[in-house]
Amino acid sequence: METSAKGGQRVRDAFLNSARQVLLQIQMGMIDPANTPGVRVSGPESGKVATVYERGLHLMRNPVYNKAEAFTEAEREELGLIGLLPPKILNIEVQVQRCVQQLRTKDTDIGRYIYLEGVHNRNETLYFRLLLDNITDLMPIVYTPSVGQACKDFDRIFRGSRGIYFNLSEKGNFKQVVWNSNVRDADIIVVTDGSRILGLGDLGTNGMGIPIGKLSLYVACAGINPGRTVPVTIDVGTNNPDLLNDDMYLGERHKRIDGEEYYAVVDEFVDAVRSRWPNVLIQFEDFTNDHAFPLLERYRNQVLCFNDDIQGTGAVALAGVLTAMRAKNEALADQRIVFFGAGSAAVGVADCIVAAMVHQGLTVEEARRRFWLVDSRGLVTSKRDGELQEHKVRFCRDDEPLNSLLEVVQVVKPTMLLGLSGQYGSFTEDIIKEMHAHCPAPVIFALSNPTPKAEATPEQLYTWTDGEAWVATGSPFKPVSYNGKMYTPGQGNNMYIFPGVGLAAIVGKFKTIPDSMFYLAAKTLSEKVTEEDLASGLLYPQIKRIRELSYAIAVACVKEALDCGIAQISRPDDLEQLVRDAMWQPQYSRVELDASVLAYSGRASAPRKAGSSKQTLAVSSSESKSFSFSDIERGPSILIMYDGPACPVVIDCGSSRTRAGLAVTGRHIRPTVEIPSSEGLRCAVHIDAYCILQRTNVPPRNCWSDLDGFLDAGHPPSFGSDAVSLVLKGEPIRLTYPVNEGVYADMENVGNLLEYVYQECLKVSAATIIGMSYGGNSWTIGGCGGLNIIYICQLDSVKRTVPELCAFDSNWVWFQIDPRDQPLLLTEPIYNPASTRERATEMLFEDLGIPSLNISVKEVAALVGTGWQDGIVVDAGEAMTSVVPISHGCVVTSGIRKLYLGGADLDVQFAERLARRADHIRLTSTRDRLMLRRWKESVCYCRPGWHDTDDDFDDNGYGAAAEAQPITLPDGTAVDMADDKWKVPESLFHPHLLGIEGSGIGEMVVESIEDCPIDDKLKLYKKIMLAGGTSQFPGFADRLRSEVEHSVKYSRIATSGRTQNRNPQVHVEKAHRHPEWAAWIGGSAFASLKDSFEDRWLSREEYEECGPDAINSKVQISFMPHQQQ
């Protein structure tokens, strides 16, 4: 076993941790000890295992997993590739050599670009390995200058779609658009509206080549994982007449929109991507000047974003300026700087240089007096006619107007001349010689790109200054020989800056990216220029060192972010290693087929009898599970309702289930209604037909979006239990879930779901008391004053219970709840975006007409519903798991942790393991997925600890109970899941087993508590509350307690100013006997005290006066009155 730790105890701990992981992988069947002598895990060929759902040609057409000739013999046999590939097996190094040889046969740069994009679309790993190994030669092909021509010809060289297009015609539907992407977790988005592509102007959707190229540089230069990147184009039209009249143009054919209509589109785009990827970094790219600055100011303090044209260009130019000052041994404050071009890039560069001067002791005003900006009308001065654009005002001078660059150079006698005009040849011989006459070693940057837009060539600049100029360009140029000396012009390309800054923001989980980060990046880059570089005229390091440079910038920026408090991670013991580990390497993974593709036959089975003692679970494909009163938990239950006509309704919308009911208090309470959070859409063909066509038997969670083309628009959608009932009856229904990861992803269908809850489910009376008692085999349902409340347990269908309830009382009275009469308390997760909350508020007041609204945080409600105000809530839900610490009834935001792993992921894992044991089964339809979930919940349990072996561990009886529950398939086959019963939930504690980065639940709890800035952390360990349906596995609480105790074993816990070395007392319990109800019950308790918290409710009058954003100040992150907080 290899370790990198130093020191005796650290080596021992590192060895033990590594050994534990290997032992766990052996137990999980991920490592075969017989083929693992010494268990050595190192080297480029020992990468992660990639599990796939495709085989044969389908797999080879997937660029993420395709390895072409590099598939091994074992992989070819398992994946159905025998005969589809030549017999020779090549490694990635040989494949790269072949690509280089093929590239040399291309005569033009655009031909090379097209070839490389072909590799990109066929084999991503090979593409990035080729790019990384040949970055100096290929960077000009992948990005500037070749990408400019690629964008001009984008519609003609188009081979296949990559990224997301947010089109104006889809406005109002952007949140559905973003969910069509197959990128599950995005780290970075590069977005353009195509309005100012390089120096080429308005190219509309043809500008998509820029985000694609930028993201390729992120991957090659900084090791950003390509599977977590998303190129985006916002199509709001084009003002380019050539494109509007071109039949080949792929974008919308109308003039660009502008003004508030334009910003509304961008706002919806930002809201949409953050609703799915709330922590994603957004890089704005190639927007026109009149939008670039406003957009940056609009979002820079709201979302994680930056503008590369403004900030990235400024930083890379500043780095060259700082290097030139070092080479000339001059002070930056002594320079006279002329800019030719006064757009967003030029002003961004000027701002960065001003910031550097301020760092060196000048005031902002003193620094700005050293700048002269020249635009198309001459010197930017207050004395010329016309109104200035806002971004130019801060550099406006009071000098007399000068109409040409030559006049400005003659008057100012600059020491620096920076060109960002996009005007080819604008640095003429007269101008450069005039500058050189007054400055022996002028600093001249011709930064416009691509090459045909450069203000001058390096050869011209060296010739006109007798080789004395310090030259940098925006596009790459070859070295120049002048008077027997070889000069190498530096390329001031943004790729030196933005990959490192982006990597830092992702690793450090930045809240924002302040301008100081770009100054630090420029300073770090400048310091990496060697004396050897300077001797050849280089103002920037050689591009072949780009990964080293990006790494250095990322480390410096994360360190600064930790110091100034914008990083949302704990300070690591080894920051350099943290950044190094985050950098993706283009190496092939071993590819495994996750399940067989053989179909099964046979449908007959017998339904389980109610109250049967036999534990075998069987679900009929033709008959849905019926309700029986024997399923209701036995015992008396007295419900005390909030009296009066304004009794609040409480609704908890989760990713999988929605719970609703009137606000109640009491000992035995439960939601009146619990239904699936689903919409059912009828398909024109049966879902099984699609799955057969795709040759898959265990589809991934997101594959159902492919069924959109099969939907039958002639049938209205069904919701909740009605939709599930149709599925269980075998109807061709596709289920969609408008709530994703706890966040409202599809607001329209959320509204439809809530309307269904009110109209079809909440049919109850306004009585105050109901009693239910159980005697023998019958229920007695009592009431008050002849008015009764229906008390419904968890059912497959609410409607199905009506005849059974009426059978007990022929005088049963139904009342429909009108949303306009009852206040509504809605729960939401702690990480719900404000924009989503505001849209929900607008929908509830405008569409449903509610009189007042309160939104409460699920995790706080789950804890306070137990009567406690201090503790930590572990909410294991359908789509994700969150850990939220609460002290004195308030959320401690610094301790919040999230893991994008939940019950749905375990469903897929369970299906995969079942398919391995029953290779004849094909699990494809929505009905099958529901069956799988029930099987999983019936047989799976949690093992007490990772360290126990099969021979000696004590599972507290959970394993024995599960052993009696084999699974009966629809064809009658009984399947014993054996050790898979504990391996499925094991990934909650060790998510790396599914290839998911991050800590397990136990480690998350300890990290959360230790990051809480409170004195007494021990109290949080004593009250760890479980919420969410995925926490119901037998043994889950005991396993979590064991994991927490192990993770905190060597922690030092601060308590009231003292440090304790002893282990804390760890106590884990369910927030309710049904943890999935915890949030609803807590919300119900709070809503029943509405009068005590009246200021927390948003009334209709206040909504109409202040708008939907008024709800943000009302969000219930605490269950303490204001005066007690």
Q: Above pLDDT 90, what percent of the chain? A: 40
Same domain for 336 and 402, yes or no, is: yes
Same domain for 340 and 207, yes or no, is: no
Q: Which amino acid is at 1091?
A: D
509 is a catalytic site residue? no
Name 858's Cβ contacts closer than 8 Å, sequence gap at least 6.
652, 742, 827, 828, 829, 830, 875, 1027, 1079
Same domain for 409 and 384, yes or no, is: yes
Question: Positive or negative CA dihedral for 355, 357, 362, 365?
Answer: negative
Rounded to whole angstroms, the Cα distance separating 432 from 462 reads 10
Please give the average per-residue pLDDT across 5-33, as a whole number: 42
The CATH number linked to 547 is: 3.40.50.720
Please give the average per-residue pLDDT across 699-716, as a whole number: 39
Same domain for 296 and 316, yes or no, is: no
Rounded to the nearest 10 degrees, the angle between the axes of helix 405-412 and helix 429-438 is: 10
Whose tokens are 């049966």? That residue is 686
Phi–psi pair at 38, nearest 5 degrees: 75, -10
Query: Is 279 in contact with 486 (CB distance < 8 Å)?
Result: no
The CATH number linked to 211 is: 3.40.50.10380
Rounded to whole angstroms, the Cα distance separating 707 from 60 reads 22
DSSP assignment of 307-364 equals: EIIIIIHHHHHHHHHHHHHHHHT--GGG--EEEE--SHHHHHHHHHHHHHHHHTT--H
Domain annotation covers residue 332 = yes
Q: What is the pLDDT of residue 742?
A: 64
Q: What is the pLDDT of residue 152?
A: 93
Query: Is 274 in contact with 179 (CB distance < 8 Å)?
Result: no
- Which range has the worst mean pLDDT, 568-577, 671-680, 932-941? 671-680
Question: Positive or negative CA dihedral for 859, 860, 866, 870?
Answer: positive
Rounded to whole angstroms, the Cα distance separating 472 from 526 reads 13
Same domain for 137 and 211, yes or no, is: yes
Q: Is the pLDDT of residue 1124 over 80?
A: no
Q: Is the pLDDT of residue 4 over 50?
A: no
Same domain for 109 and 138, yes or no, is: yes
The pLDDT confidence band at residue 509, using thresholds 50, 70 and 90, is very high
| Last residue of one domain, picked from the residues 552, 582, 612 | 582
Q: What is the pLDDT of residue 332?
A: 95
Number of structural domains (the chain) is 3
Same domain for 373 and 462, yes or no, is: yes
Domain annotation covers residue 185 = yes
Domain annotation covers residue 1017 = no
Same domain for 412 and 551, yes or no, is: yes
Q: List for the chain the helix, strand, coil content (%; round to 5).
A: 45, 15, 40
Same domain for 326 and 292, yes or no, is: no
Q: What is the pLDDT of residue 731?
A: 61
Which one is catalytic: 67, 152, 175, 214? 214
Q: Is the pLDDT of residue 113 over 90?
A: yes
Please give the average per-residue pLDDT across 1103-1121, as a whole number: 74
Q: Is the pLDDT of residue 35 over 90?
A: no
Rounded to whole angstroms, the Cα distance separating 466 from 424 reads 22
Same domain for 313 and 291, yes or no, is: no
115 is a catalytic site residue? no
Query: Is 929 in contact with 608 (CB distance < 8 Å)?
Result: no
Q: What is the pLDDT of residue 668?
A: 53
The pLDDT confidence band at residue 923, using thresholds 50, 70 and 90, is low
Domain annotation covers residue 719 = no
Q: pLDDT per residue over 422-447, tens digit each? A: 899 999 999 999 999 999 999 999 99
Listed residue (796, 801, 659) closest to 725, CA to CA: 796
Q: Is the pLDDT of residue 617 over 70?
A: no
Q: Is the pLDDT of residue 515 over 70?
A: yes
| Last residue of one domain, picked from the residues 561, 582, 603 | 582
Same domain for 394 and 273, yes or no, is: no
Rounded to whole angstroms, the Cα distance separating 211 from 222 reads 16
Tokens (6 digits) for 1038: 């005991």
Query: Is 249 in contact with 208 (CB distance < 8 Å)?
Result: no
| Last residue of one domain, picked from the residues 582, 603, 637 | 582
Q: Quick one: DSSP state of residue 381?
A: B
Q: Look at residue 974 and give its three-state secondary structure.
A: strand
Classify residue 350 as exposed, middle or buried by CB count within 10 Å of its CB (0-12, 13-18, 19+). buried
Looking only at the bridges linking them, the beta strands covering 637-641 and 664-665 are antiparallel
Which one is catalytic: 53, 65, 127, 143? 143
Which range, 223-227, 761-765, 826-830, 1032-1036, has the best average confidence (pLDDT)? 223-227
pTM: 0.54
Rounded to whole angstroms, the Cα distance separating 396 from 369 reads 9
Range of the domain at 384: 309-582
Query: Is 975 in contact with 994 (CB distance < 8 Å)?
Result: no
Phi–psi pair at 96, nearest 5 degrees: -65, -45
Q: Give the CA angle between residues 1015, 1018, 1019 to the nearest 5°.
A: 95
Domain annotation covers residue 646 = no
Rounded to whole angstroms, the Cα distance separating 76 from 170 reads 43
Q: What is the pLDDT of residue 682?
A: 54
